[in-house]
Amino acid sequence: MYFSANYGEARERFLAAARARGAHLDSFPLGELRGARGEPLSTDVARLGASRGRSVLVLVSGTHGAEGFAGSACQLRALHEAEWTGLPVVLVHALNPFGFSHRRRVNEDNIDVNRNFVDHAAPPPAAGYGELHPTLLPGDWEGPAHAEADAALLAHADRLGVREVQQIVTSGQYTHPDGLFYGGSAPCWSHRTWHAIIGEYLTGYERVAYIDLHTGLGERGAAEPIFRGGVDPGAPRRARAWYGDALTNSEEGTSSSTPIGGNSARALLQDLADAEITAITCEFGTQDGLTVLRALQADNWLWQQRGPGQQGGPEQQGGAVDPEQVARIGQLMREAFDPPDEQWRTDVLDRGTSVIGQAAAGVLAESIGRA
């Protein structure tokens, strides 16, 4: 009911639902770039309630574009069904609209937006990614080069351990622009836009409950709240009180996610130094990690086949790649981040609604308790 077929439909439904709730709306257009259907691209913001006060709930979708379908659906359900008496809510729809429209996890420059919030003058070290890069981006996708790359990657996993390889691959790298989990060499458009949204819509609140909605890690259909911080010593306690034993922490090794650098919560911690922040990623599981990695490899290989300066997706380039192969890789991405499975969608909506409710109740209780 709340899942959309494409970015354009998701955007229209989000805007319509926000207008029906009487939200204050704003849009941040992504220049001249267009989506998979030629549509304009934008990050949209809806605010319900006061523009400043004791507390605010913030829900973000589409940081990793292709993961935006689940996040958008949760936002849409919240706009239709949730009651937030006395609690302002800011919903940020499609932080990475290019990736959302083209069903890519990365943005228009192959940048992983959730690895881009770093000091680019002194980015995190490569930590072994360069050695793995050739195994992650083979010379072909369904031929001998791919088979050789797979064998080499498995050899690395046998030698280092699967968790260590996951850490090297997914933590974020800043040396290979054509690689996976590339954090960029400068703040990207989504990075700059997020800072602008924080400055315009989140400054002035004393407490911020932040949820960044993602898919692709963890048990299928589960909603894993992953602690992303708060600079005050009470932040871990608050998060545990709100989310209970389901809360995990990448830094402590309890999460399906390894520790990552440059995630979007870092911008909140930087820009809202005087606010009490309780930030999580809500991760909805889809498939096992190796299958998801395989989809990301395929998608990255496919997009690297474009010629210099070409802006459209592989399906628009004409003749560079077999259309049937494009379709097969597209299906891999969909199964990894937006599976067309009604039970999965039901689980995501129900469990996502529960996590959102926990955040709302938690930040309201903090406000009342200190009034």
Q: Decide: helix, strand or coil at residue 76.
A: helix
DSSP H or E run through 241: helix 235-243
Q: What is the pLDDT of residues 15-29, one digit of tens each?
A: 999 999 999 999 999
State the greatest distance between any 2 C-alpha atoms of the chain, in Å, as a whole number: 66
Q: What is the pLDDT of residues 259-275, one digit of tens each?
A: 888 999 999 999 999 99
For residue 315, pLDDT beyond 80:
no
Q: Is the Cβ–Cβ distance between 59 and 279 less than 8 Å?
A: no
Give the pLDDT of residue 309: 46
Share of the chain above pLDDT 70, in %: 95
The DSSP call for residue 117 is -
pTM for this entry? 0.95
DSSP H or E run through 136: helix 129-136
For residue 322, pLDDT beyond 90:
no
> Which residues lie closer than 8 Å to 89 by C-beta, 6 or more apart?
47, 48, 49, 56, 57, 58, 59, 78, 360
Of 141-150, 212-221, 311-320, the range with the highest mean pLDDT is 212-221
Give the pLDDT of residue 318: 47
Please state which of the ranges 57-61, 205-209, 233-237, 259-263 shows the lowest mean pLDDT.
259-263
Q: Average pLDDT, stretch 202-218?
A: 97
Q: Which residue has the tokens 């898919």?
A: 215
For residue 244, count other CB atoms closer than 10 A to its CB: 10
Q: Average model confidence (pLDDT) for the chain?
A: 93
Domains of the chain: residue spans and CATH:
7-116+184-288+339-369 (3.40.630.10), 126-170 (no CATH)
